[in-house]
Chains A and B, each alone.
Chain A
């Protein structure tokens, strides 16, 4: 079991706000790790730290035996790390196909335009956007934009994929479809970290869960272990919407 990503005592603060405190965990290759926690817990901040957008002040991040703590996002794309964003970031005036090609060209395999074009076709089929290949990305609806974002990330042929709330705003059949897609991605050998609020889905699909609250790791373990952890329940009960959802999913 090789460890593909190692987070070691990572801390991040913005001004006076401690967004992350000594977060530490190892991620084995091929695992699906669910990252949950109430709003503002620091989940996206952790992604930003891993991805090089806002490097941490303390701690180290090791990716495939390389210390990437201070690396820039574009270097990480080359090393095989891709991510999607909570608020989708399409390249609006480019077509769906061109969007995906950007991912392919500047990703791990540094493809030429021709190669990228082929990869784009393949990935678009995987996410089900083939019919819209020539449409401007800005004209898609939110669900389609989310799939595009995932396609872009996949096109860069990553070893590690960071998914930030891919299920947000989807209805239940869309959630099912997306969850299937996530599992299919793992089948290709890609390791995944998922930030999610849709409890049922993330509990079902993850091999392991880590819970953040106020920037601190308050729990870690299998979905069952975490769901029964009193600290976790308390953290979420502080967030009424989540508590409600937790209640109704039982």
Chain B
């Protein structure tokens, strides 16, 4: 095994995402498209969190904050300043990246549990901030001017377009994930995850590596946020920073397995599938959060390496393919 590059590892993820994109196109069914959109969104978000959690080993409970913040910023420019959705998405990503950079400077030097606590605090603080910030519309949030859709051929066409943009973002998330997995940078992150002090002694410049990991993990969620609020037509604090999402993302990443490209995808599928079933059942709809909690607890207690991690351990031959 001369070359370390797990090029094979990208194949299955790409096929899966491609399948998700083609399915509604081929069947021509709008409901399928919505389902696909939800799963694609989950994959993009989970893959991004994986960069921080799976590769670097830093638990972020408030990762959704980048989705909300980037989303707010992007939507503001689209709605209030009349920018195009493309620029809006770009700006949202940059804004989230910048936020991650600044936050990272403050909190990445905290180890383990303290960092995790800080991320919880971020969520609370950001919610309060959004509630008070007038530019973002305070507690009411922002409502998208319907006329904005006209620039894209009307509401229906705009909706269809957002699906393909979402697909693009998901592919981007996969590419970033794959890059991290097969690069020297990624190896450094894995070293940090396993033993940060030893990694430092071996020459990994940990403060820089962690900061870049944090920034990379924030960009796509920011972009996804803009896209989603654009599609949704409005945004307000509880929508931008939903309590559910923190745990959902964690479950997806943990379920699939840390530090792999495929892991978050499997996790996203499994989780969305379970959720889809739960939402239809009246009883479970209310305690959806509890079920997520139980799933997370079971994973943490019994299969902390996740499904992909478990497989990689049992069947070494699969390691090249299940990157």
Which among A72-80, A201-209, A214-222 touches the partner chain?
A72-80
Instruction: Tell me whether B188 is interfacial, beta carbon within 8 Å.
Output: yes
Among residues of B, the one whose C-beta sits closest to the C-beta of A98 is B187
Asked if residues A106 and B202 are in contact (CB atoms below 8 Å), the reply is yes
By beta carbon, the residue of chain A nearest B198 is A89
**A residues less than 8 Å from B316 (CB atoms):** 134
Q: Does B2 contact A (CB under 8 A)?
A: yes
Q: What CA separation (Å) do A77 and B129 show in the bound complex? A: 43
CB distance from A103 to the nearest CB of B (A): 5
Interface residue count on the A side (C-beta < 8 Å): 32
Find chain B residues with CB under 8 A from A89 CB.
195, 197-198
| A114 part of interface (Cβ distance < 8 Å) | yes
Interface segment among B43-51, B90-98, B167-175, B203-211: the answer is B203-211
Q: Are B194 and A112 in contact (CB under 8 A)?
A: no
B187 and A134 contacting across the interface, CB-CB below 8 Å: no
In this assembly, does A146 line the interface, its C-beta being within 8 Å of a C-beta of chain B? no
Known contacts A98-B187, A106-B188; is-contact A113 B5 (Cβ 8 Å): yes
Contacting residues, chain A, for B5 (C-beta < 8 A): 113
The docked-state distance in angstroms from the alpha carbon of A94 to that of B3 is: 16
Question: Bound complex: CA of A107 vs CA of B205, how far in Å?
Answer: 11
* Distance in angstroms between the alpha carbons of A83 and B198 in the assembled complex: 10
Residues in B with CB closer than 8 Å to A116 are: 4, 184
Q: Mark A45-56, 1 if CB is under 8 A from B, else 0.
A: 000000101000
Task: Fill in one digit per residue for A83-127: 1 if any B CB lies within 8 Å of its CB, else 0.
Answer: 101000111111000100111011100001110110000000000
CB neighbors of A among B260-317 (8 A): 313, 316
B80 at the interface (CB under 8 A from A): no
Residue of A nearest to B185 (CB): A105
Partner of B199, one of A92, A102, A112, A134: A102
Interface assignment of A6: CB less than 8 Å from any CB of chain B:
no
Interface presence of B190 (CB below 8 A):
yes
- Find out whether the CB atom of B201 lies under 8 angstroms from the CB atom of A51: yes
Give the chain A neighbours of B206 by CB distance below 8 A: 74
- Residue B15 at the A interface, CB < 8 A? no
Kindly state whether residue A21 has any CB partner on chain B within 8 Å. Answer: no
With beta carbons under 8 angstroms apart, the residue of B4, B191, B203, B313 that contacts A117 is B4
Q: Which residue of B lies closest to A135 (CB)?
A: B316
Closest A residue to B316 by beta carbon equals: A134
Take A113-B4, A134-B316 as given contacts and tell me if A72 and B200 are in contact as well, using a CB distance cutoff of 8 Å. Answer: yes
A69 is an interface residue with CB less than 8 A from chain B: no
By the criterion CB–CB under 8 Å, are B197 and A102 in contact? no
> Does the CB pair A113–B184 fall under 8 Å?
yes
A191 CB-CB contact with B under 8 Å:
no
Chain B residues, CB < 8 A from A53: 197, 200-201
Is B1 in contact with chain A by the CB < 8 A criterion?
Answer: yes
Contact B3 A114 (CB under 8 A): yes
Contact present for B198 and A74 (CB under 8 Å): no
Which listed residue (B184, B204, B313) contacts A74, Cβ 8 A? B204
Question: Which residue on A lies nearest to B188, using beta carbons?
Answer: A106
Q: Are A94 and B194 touching (Cβ within 8 A)? A: yes
CB distance from A111 to the nearest CB of B (A): 8
Chain B residues, Cβ within 8 Å of A72 = 200
B201 x A83 contact (CB < 8 A): yes
A152 within 8 A of B: yes
B284 shortest CB reach to chain A, Å: 35
Residue-wise, chain B 1-43 has the 8 Å CB interface mask toward A (1 for contact) of: 1111100000000000000000000000000000000000000
Pairwise interchain contact B195-A106, C-beta atoms closer than 8 A: no
Q: Chain A nearest CB: distance from B258 CB in Å?
A: 9
Question: Which residues of A, 115-167, contact B by the 8 Å Cβ criterion?
Answer: 116-117, 134, 136, 152, 156
A101 to B313, CA, bound (A): 20
Rounded to whole angstroms, the CA-CA distance of A156 and B191 in the bound complex is 15
Q: Which residues of A contact B197 (CB under 8 A)?
A: 53, 89
Once bound together, how far apart are the Cα atoms of A89 and B313, in whole Å?
A: 21
Q: Please tell me if the beta carbons of B187 and A102 are within 8 angstroms of each other in the complex.
A: yes
A85 touching B198 in the complex, CB below 8 Å, given contacts A101-B4, A102-B191, A106-B203: yes
CB distance from B210 to the nearest CB of A (A): 12
- From known contacts A73-B200, A77-B203, A156-B202, infer whether A101 and B187 are also in contact, taking CB-CB under 8 Å: yes
Which residues of A have CB within 8 Å of B183? Answer: 113
Minimum distance in angstroms from A1 CB to a CB of chain B: 28
Contact A113 B187 (CB under 8 A): yes
**Do the beta carbons of B195 and A102 come within 8 Å of each other?**
no
State the 8 A-B residue pairs at the shortest beta-carbon distance, nearest first: A77-B203, A106-B203, A91-B194, A89-B198, A73-B200, A73-B201, A102-B191, A74-B205
Can you identify 18 A-B contacts, CB atoms within 8 angstroms?
A53-B201, A72-B200, A73-B201, A74-B203, A77-B203, A83-B201, A91-B194, A94-B191, A98-B4, A98-B187, A102-B188, A106-B202, A106-B203, A106-B204, A107-B203, A113-B184, A117-B4, A156-B203
Contacts from A to B (Cβ < 8 Å): 51, 53, 72-74, 77-78, 82-83, 85, 89-94, 98, 101-103, 105-107, 112-114, 116-117, 134, 136, 152, 156
List residues of chain B with CB under 8 Å of any chain A CB.
1-5, 182-184, 187-188, 190-191, 193-195, 197-206, 259, 313, 316
Having A89-B195, A89-B197, A98-B190, one finds 7 other A-B pairs with CB under 8 Å, namely: A53-B197, A74-B206, A82-B202, A93-B190, A106-B188, A106-B202, A134-B316
